[in-house]
Chain A
Amino acid sequence: MTDPTVAASLAGPGDPGDRRGGSASAVPATTAPAAEPAPSLLKAGRRTGAQQGDRIFRGFATGSGAFMVALIGAIGLFLLIQAVPSLLANKGNFLTGRTFEAGDPNNLNFGILELSFVTVEVSIFALVLAMPVGLGIALFLTQYAPRRVARPFAYLVDLLAAVPSIIFGLWGAFVLAPAILPIAEFLNEHLGWFFLFQEGNVPLARGANVFTAGIVLAVMILPIITAISREVFERTPRAQIEAALALGATKWEVVRTTVLPFGRAGYISASMLGLGRALGETIALMIILAATPAMFSGSLFDGGATFASMIALSFAELNNNLSAGAFIAAGLVLFVLTFVVNAAARLIIARSGAKA
């Protein structure tokens, strides 16, 4: 009987421990002054054990949420604290510099522009390839495929997400690169006037370029885009699909008038999550992309390094805090970049959600 709620209902009116139900328990006390006041129904009806469980669970849930926020804040703070001394010691311009020389702590000269170019181009290229294919697969699985095909097919796509990225890297470098060489050569030969297909800064024949890396990345982010889009498309209300069918819509028209408007926000957020993965992908790009001292020209046939692959490549050689700080500063930019991408995705979802 240590629980305050029970104690209060047993105690007489006016007891300092009495809470909200005070007036309710006071009523029987006046009508039958001699008897012990009847316990308040409002209080007696509550199961104190369940109440405690509720409190514990709420505390746990709130704590978990707060922990998540604190963790992200701590990571950002860690990156910032580690990066600031190196940024101060930097002789080059951090935002516009195109070289990254951080080996000598007394002579730091690093900038992120070059890394940004490669990272963004390879990720966007991967996204451009993966988005339509992911959409196609998701629509096929939810709208066109017979159920007994759709199920195993969906597992297969999910399985693709479980393949370690090093496998994708090896596959890209040794299988895909030679296989797509004819396509790369064709594009370079016929569309070379366009900056994306001009002569790159690494030999085309090796295939160690953004073109190969982007295709590999596209394959890697495909399962994310497909899985989330599929789940969203599957939830298209039956009533709306039937409304379109009853108006004489063909399969494609049903998709266009109901499934796509319904699932658009989910598809975009799925793509943004894919982009986030592409931006941060490390090992596959490290294997595929050829390092080159030459500057990035914007061509898909350029080599180079992304934030993640450059950091991974160089980290083993670090032996002082200032050099490490330079790389951490680059990592911070990647952190912010993925943050911005996710925020943009949220914004798009919120806006299309308001329209629906």
Chain B
Amino acid sequence: MAKRLDLKDVDIYYGKFHAVDGVTLAVPPRSVTAFIGPSGCGKSTVLRTLNRMHEVIPGARVEGEVLLDGEDIYNSAVDPVAVRRTIGMVFQRPNPFPTMSIRDNVVAGLKLQGRRNKAELDETAERALRAANLWNEVKDRLSKPGGGLSGGQQQRLCIARAVAVQPAVLLMDEPCSALDPISTLAIEDLIAELKKDYTIVIVTHNMQQAARVSDQTAFFNLRATGEPGHLVELDDTPKMFSNPTQQATEDYISGRFG
């Protein structure tokens, strides 16, 4: 189920602007990889290239290879829609579909795949909501709109929606930045649970969070404003936070950056 991701010399552009330069990194299956770095360094951009969401912006393009278990997702024969069905994504702000009920939100991805069997959908909805630690809070109001939940619940609903289709990889773009500390903790616990079944890549501004949830950490940086972002180093999280190889990483992590 869970698959590995390998990036080889990935360059990312917005029109003529070279946003990210030459990223090569490996994401092993059933692990959490955290992307950290200052604003504008391209970590979210890299994340969005992993499920081909980057290219929905007009003029955006990607060079290099992104391999999912050895298969290049940017191969011209690959359908981006199929990539996004295999690689799920959770966004910075919770974005449940406002017109859909909680249950319909969770199974929205399955419905897109043409699954219509009500019993199967109900079962999947329960499984996904349990996986997202949300089942007990919403089991009595599955037919109510998802927009009525609190921010933290909405974000877990979005996670349930993403895992309902059993993706090979789960991408999370600052999933806790709009949440309070208690909801954040709930999501972090959830990430630790989900790691058993999924390959997870998470972008975070919160270094304590990266230290808490991830197995390996990638530090991205900018040489200067207007220059493309690049990967400074990638290593096991304990090593990155105690004894990084690069001076820039140490400066950033210890707060001496900029």
Q: A: which residues have CB within 8 A of B?
A: 146-147, 237, 239-240, 242-250, 253, 257-258, 261-262, 355-356
The minimal Cβ–Cβ distance linking B192 to chain A, given in whole angstroms, is 23
Complex Cα–Cα for A356 and B146 (A): 10
Given A242-B53, A243-B158, A258-B97 contact (CB < 8 Å):
yes
Residues A356 and B56 in contact, CB atoms below 8 Å apart: no
Which chain B residues (59-105) contact chain A, with CB distance < 8 Å?
Answer: 81-86, 88-89, 91, 93, 95-99
The stretch of B24-32, B108-116, B215-223, B237-245 in contact with A is: B108-116
A247 partner residues in chain B, CB cutoff 8 A: 84-85, 88, 108-109, 112, 161-162, 165
A243 partner residues in chain B, CB cutoff 8 A: 91, 95-97, 158, 161
Residues B53 and A245 in contact, CB atoms below 8 Å apart: yes
Residue B51 lies at the interface, judged by CB distance under 8 Å to chain A:
yes
The minimal Cβ–Cβ distance linking A186 to chain B, given in whole angstroms, is 38
The minimal Cβ–Cβ distance linking B45 to chain A, given in whole angstroms, is 14
Complex Cα–Cα for A253 and B110 (A): 12
Residues B97 and A249 in contact, CB atoms below 8 Å apart: no
Residue of B nearest to A246 (CB): B89
Residues A245 and B97 in contact, CB atoms below 8 Å apart: no
Residues B95 and A242 in contact, CB atoms below 8 Å apart: yes
Residues B81 and A147 in contact, CB atoms below 8 Å apart: no
Residue B58 lies at the interface, judged by CB distance under 8 Å to chain A:
yes
A261 partner residues in chain B, CB cutoff 8 A: 97-99
Residues A248 and B112 in contact, CB atoms below 8 Å apart: yes
Residue of A nearest to B113 (CB): A248
B91 partner residues in chain A, CB cutoff 8 A: 239, 242-243, 246
Given A147-B58, A242-B56, A253-B112, A248-B81 contact (CB < 8 Å):
yes
The minimal Cβ–Cβ distance linking B111 to chain A, given in whole angstroms, is 9
Contacts A240-B98, A243-B95, A247-B84 known; list 14 others, CB within 8 Å. Answer: A239-B91, A240-B97, A242-B95, A245-B53, A245-B84, A246-B89, A247-B85, A247-B108, A247-B109, A247-B112, A248-B82, A257-B108, A261-B97, A356-B98
Query: How many residue pairs bridge A and B at CB < 8 Å?
Result: 71
Give which listed residue, A146, A246, A262, contacts B88 with CB less than 8 A.
A246
Residues A248 and B97 in contact, CB atoms below 8 Å apart: no
Complex Cα–Cα for A247 and B82 (A): 9
Residue of A nearest to B161 (CB): A247
Residues A355 and B84 in contact, CB atoms below 8 Å apart: no
B84 partner residues in chain A, CB cutoff 8 A: 245-249
Give which listed residue, B81, B98, B147, B161, contacts A249 with CB less than 8 A.
B81
Q: B: which residues have CB within 8 A of A?
A: 51, 53, 56, 58, 81-86, 88-89, 91, 93, 95-99, 108-109, 112-113, 145, 147, 158, 161-162, 165
A248 partner residues in chain B, CB cutoff 8 A: 81-86, 109, 112-113, 165
Complex Cα–Cα for A247 and B165 (A): 8
Complex Cα–Cα for A242 and B89 (A): 9
Complex Cα–Cα for A355 and B85 (A): 29
Complex Cα–Cα for A156 and B89 (A): 39
**22 pairs, A vs B, C-beta closer than 8 Å:** A147-B58, A239-B95, A240-B95, A243-B91, A243-B96, A243-B97, A243-B158, A244-B112, A245-B56, A246-B53, A246-B84, A247-B108, A247-B161, A247-B165, A248-B81, A248-B82, A248-B113, A253-B112, A257-B108, A257-B112, A261-B98, A262-B99
B158 partner residues in chain A, CB cutoff 8 A: 243
Complex Cα–Cα for A356 and B89 (A): 24
Complex Cα–Cα for A116 and B162 (A): 54
B85 partner residues in chain A, CB cutoff 8 A: 247-248
Closest 6 CB pairs of A and B: A248-B85, A246-B89, A261-B99, A239-B95, A247-B109, A248-B84
Residue of A nearest to B105 (CB): A243
Complex Cα–Cα for A262 and B93 (A): 18
Residue of B nearest to A248 (CB): B85
Give which listed residue, A147, A249, A253, A356, contacts B99 with CB less than 8 A.
A356
Complex Cα–Cα for A355 and B145 (A): 8
Complex Cα–Cα for A246 and B220 (A): 24
A146 partner residues in chain B, CB cutoff 8 A: 58
A147 partner residues in chain B, CB cutoff 8 A: 58
Residue of B nearest to A258 (CB): B97
B89 partner residues in chain A, CB cutoff 8 A: 246
The minimal Cβ–Cβ distance linking A73 to chain B, given in whole angstroms, is 37
The minimal Cβ–Cβ distance linking B90 to chain A, given in whole angstroms, is 8
B53 partner residues in chain A, CB cutoff 8 A: 242, 245-246
Complex Cα–Cα for A355 and B147 (A): 11
Residues A246 and B51 in contact, CB atoms below 8 Å apart: yes
Complex Cα–Cα for A243 and B108 (A): 10
Complex Cα–Cα for A247 and B162 (A): 7
B147 partner residues in chain A, CB cutoff 8 A: 356
Residues A250 and B97 in contact, CB atoms below 8 Å apart: no
